[in-house]
Amino acid sequence: MAIEGGCHCGAIRYRVNGELLGVIHCHCSDCRRWHGNYSAYAVAKLADFEFLSGEDTLKWYESSTKARRGFCPQCGSSIFKDNKDGEKIVLSVGAIDAPTGLSFLKNIFEDSKGDYYALPGA
Ligand SMILES: [Zn+2]
Ligand SMILES: [Zn+2]
């Protein structure tokens, strides 16, 4: 299974040659502020991941000591989260080309969720 994705303007494109487990919705305050709402992520092994274009264009924002977030400076799409463990890269599911073949896996940081929505489910 190979999936491809990229930012809104198309400058940054990538491919993953391997399995993605499913969609994780993160309700932490960092994600909600960064994405404008809770985030939808799928985790890829770094070994399965490759840039097709735009690796030099991509910018990283250090959102905490443990995580950085990758975005396109031309169109503003926030497309990656990197937990700096050197093994995985976290993909924003909305930037993956359809059909993703993915389905809901779980919610995380539910205690930090906004008061303006119900938790998403399967
Ligand atoms: Zn872009
Ligand atoms: Zn989060």
Closest ligand, as measured to the CA of 34: 2
Distance 75 CA to ligand 1 centre (A): 4
Closest ligand, as measured to the CA of 77: 1
Overall average pLDDT of the 93-102 stretch? 96
Overall average pLDDT of the 79-89 stretch? 93
**DSSP 8-state secondary structure symbol assigned to residue 56:** T
Confidence of residue 24 (pLDDT cuts 50, 70, 90): very high
Q: Helix or strand or coil: residue 103?
A: coil
Closest ligand, as measured to the CA of 8: 1
**Residues measured by CB to lie within 5 Å of ligand 2, the ion:** 26, 28, 31
Inter-residue contact 43 to 90 (CB < 8 Å): yes
More confident of the two residues 85 and 25: 25
Q: What is d(CA 91, CA 53) in angstroms, rounded to the nearest whole number? A: 16
50 pLDDT higher than 80: yes
119 pLDDT higher than 90: yes
Domains in the chain, start-ordered, CATH in brackets? 2-107 (2.170.150.70)
Q: What is d(CA 10, CA 79) in angstroms, rounded to the nearest whole number? A: 12
Total residues found in the chain within this entry: 122
Distance 77 CA to ligand 1 centre (A): 6
Q: Helix or strand or coil: residue 91?
A: strand
